[in-house]
Every structure is written in structure tokens, then in C-alpha cells.
Amino acid sequence: MLDPITLGILALVALVGLIAIRMPIAYAMILVGGIGIALVNGVAPVFNQLKTLAYGQFSVYDLSVVPMFILMGALAAKAGLSQALFRGANAWLGGMRGGTAMASIAGCAGFGAVCGSSLATASTMGRVALPELARYKYSGALATGTLAAGGVLGILIPPSVVLIIYAIIVEANIVSMFAAALLPGLLAVVLFILTIAIYVRVKPGSGPAHGGVDRAEFRAATVGLIPVLAIFGVVLGGIYGGFYNPTPAAAIGVALVWIYGAATRQIRFADIVDALKETASSTGMIYLILLGAELMKIFMSRIGLPQATAEWILASGMAPMLVLVLLLVALILLGCLMDSLSMILLVIPFFWPVLVELNGGLYMGADGAGFGMSTENLKIWFGILALIVVELGLITPPVGMNVFVISSMAKDVPMSETFKGVMPFFGAEMLRVVLILSFPALALWLPQVMAGW
């Protein structure tokens, strides 16, 4: 019989191998976790776990927000919100050099605020913005790179499904996580727009101005933004103001998006059916991954691998900040192999205990131990950092799901050009990581202000 630590390492290698050969992540985790528990405790405990684990996992009230936000995003895509966002942003920004690309970023941010999914944001805004970018003769690299990078805004700008899952895993307050994500999300929008401004000056022909729009069109496009901003304000404003928690907020969002779609006659009964089917499919996939991640967590806890890792790191004498940076680098590398949700579910239960041990739940002392914050603040700060680097996996090879989505729409642009186009945005994201590492208040200030209300 192998010693537990060796068994755990082999299990992780096997899991990565199964993912590499394209076994769905949920099945890979269920298989490895189930076999691991059977090897340690016998077959009977595996069946006992499967008998009660699924209900125990999926009956958690906080998880009910996931299908609600997915449904809101699915209805928003069919209700024409993406077109309204892009038209409004383009009316304000399009007259600048690179302005239509900047409008695409603003549109992605706005749609991400009512969607919560990066892939949905990239695909929906891609259908709207790509024809306009091509019409104004933007270079293929800038056009596709902008939309692939803009899609990652959906994972952090609240509401975010991945952010909700992270909060549930580490037992953080979802409202606090939403508040913490707001400023870093807006920072990403600013950095992306500045990136485009620099790009079009370094390569002047890549993003020409289109001369703006006439006054009537500007007014109409601006008025078209009002319903979108109202939906965003009611959903997130209600959460931040303490009027309701995220689950009823999401239900209100669904109702408002449906009312908007019905009023503008863009949502038909068939669209509602399609949105419900899409929601059921996405939710089922997420819940199955949650089940697999819980089996892996139980297996790893029983063999003591997370605790052994934490003890080894503590004994190594590495500074807590260095360990955090190494964990973030590991997340970036893992993002090249798996999708963001799977990575959060698989890695965070493994990494989080290490950070707790390093921090000790204490404020930084004179000897420099810990991270200088309470465990509750560490949950928030690390969560924002983790989600930012997880975003990078959506635009880095070989997986780069957002790149694949946009490339499937822009068939005349080689995928290599799209990867070149996202690299400046990758640099902007790394700058954002450095800023939040250096100034934790960027993530912690708003939750602390809300806690004082």
C-alpha cells in the first residue's frame, strides 16, 4: 500500500492526465476522487458518500443564485441588451481613434454585469461588435483580441457565477465578494481602454476613428442605455444597499430582463424555452463539477495532502507573499489546461488551507508574519486575485476558450493573430494583479465601507 502523500500526488497526476486527454472535468474528478476514497477506506464509504453528498451539496440555499444569474444572462442575450450596450458605448467613444474597440470593451463590461459568464459575454458581444469592427477596417488582431479579452470581464464584474462558487467554497459572504470585485472590475475596463489607446498609436492603421454619429443617433443610442443601466442598478444596487440578498436580486433581474425583452418585442416564447434549456444544461454541468470537486476534497482531506503541503511550506521558511505569488503563477499555468470554474473548484480547496496556515488568522506582527489582514479580509483579497489570474486562462494557449469562441466567428482571422491581439491585454491584466497585490485596499475598501453602513 502506498503512503497517503504519494497516493495523493499520483491522484493529482492522474487527474491532470485525464483532463489532458479531454475527459470532462466533472467525470475526471468523480472517478479519481471515488477511486481514491475506495483505496483509503474501502468501497462502501464511496457509495455512502454518493448516497447523501449530492443532496447535501445541491440543497445549499446560496447555490440557488447560480441558475438564476445564468437565466438572466441567457435572457439578456436574446433581449437585445448587448446591441443596446454596444450602440450606446459606440456613440460615446466611436469618434476616437480605436473608439469602436473601446466601445466593445465597455459593452463587454456592461453585458458582463447582467450576465456573469465570460464565454457568454465573448460570444454575444462578438456577434454584435465584430461586423462593426470589420466595417471600420480594424486590424484582425485588434478586433478579435479586444473581444476575446473583453469577454473575461464577465467573470469578475458582479454578478459572477465563478465568484459565487468561490465564496461558497471558502465560506465568504457573497455580497462582500461582489463589493470587492467592483473596483478591480472597473480598473480592468480602464486598463483595457488605455491599452487600446496605446495600441492604435503604436500601430496607427489598426484602429481608425469613424467620425462619430449624428446628434439624433447619439441621442437614441444614449436613451437605449437607460434600461440596461436601470436593470444593473436595481440588481446590484439592491444587493449593495441591503434590500435583498443575491438570490432574490437575481430573480428580480430575470423578471426585469424579460419585461425589457417583451416590451421591445425581442423575446418570443421560443426564446424563453431556449434560455431555460441553456440554463438547465449549464447548471447541471456546474453542479456535477461541484460533486466531483467535493469527492476530491474528501479524498485529499482523508490522506492529509493539503495539511502536509501547508506544513512543508511553513517549514520551508518562505515569506507568505512569495507563497501567494507562486500560487497565483500556478493558477495561471493551470489555466492553460482547464476552464475557470473547474480550476476554482479543484484548486481553491487545496490552496486556501495553505494561506490560512501562513496567515494564522492574525494581523501582521513586527516579524512580518502573515499577510497583514484578518482571515475574512484574506478570503476577499485572495478571491479577487485568484479570479483575475483565472481569467487569464481564458485568453492564453493552448485552451484559451475566449480565443476559440471569437476565432470561430472571425473565420478570416488566423487564430495566431487573435493570440497576438490579446497579448497587450494580458500585460494589462498582469499590471492589475501587481496593483492589487501592492494595494489590497483596491479590493477591500468597498466591503469595509459597506460593513460600516
pLDDT in the model for residue 144:
94
pLDDT in the model for residue 31:
92
pLDDT > 70 fraction of the chain, expressed in percent and rounded? 95
pLDDT in the model for residue 1:
57
Question: In terms of residue numbers, what domain contains 148?
Answer: 62-281
| Alpha helices per DSSP H over 138-245 | 140-151, 161-170, 174-202, 215-240
Q: Is residue 406 part of a domain?
A: no
pLDDT in the model for residue 154:
82
Nearest by Cα to 451 from 197, 173, 37: 173
Average pLDDT over residues 262-273: 90
Q: Is residue 333 part of a domain?
A: no
Q: Is residue 339 part of a domain?
A: no
For the chain, report the end-to-end CA distance as a whole number of angstroms: 57
Nearest by Cα to 26 from 348, 390, 346: 346
Q: How many domains does the chain have?
A: 1
Beta carbons within 10 angstroms of residue 103's beta carbon: 27
Local structure of 83: helix, strand or coil: helix
Residues 250 and 158: their CA atoms lie apart, in Å, by 11
Banded pLDDT at 362 (limits 50, 70, 90): very low
Q: Is residue 245 part of a domain?
A: yes
Q: Is residue 87 part of a domain?
A: yes
pLDDT digits (tens, 9 = 90+) for 365-412: 434 457 778 889 999 999 999 999 988 888 887 767 888 889 888 888
pLDDT digits (tens, 9 = 90+) for 207-237: 887 666 778 888 988 998 898 889 888 988 8
pLDDT in the model for residue 212:
67
pLDDT in the model for residue 363:
38
pLDDT in the model for residue 369:
56
pTM, 2 dp: 0.88
Q: Is residue 187 part of a domain?
A: yes
pLDDT digits (tens, 9 = 90+) for 120-154: 888 889 988 999 898 888 999 999 999 999 988 88
Q: Is residue 423 part of a domain?
A: no
Q: Is residue 297 part of a domain?
A: no
Average pLDDT over residues 254-262: 93
Residues 334 and 123: their CA atoms lie apart, in Å, by 23
Nearest by Cα to 94 from 196, 188, 203, 228: 196
pLDDT in the model for residue 145:
94
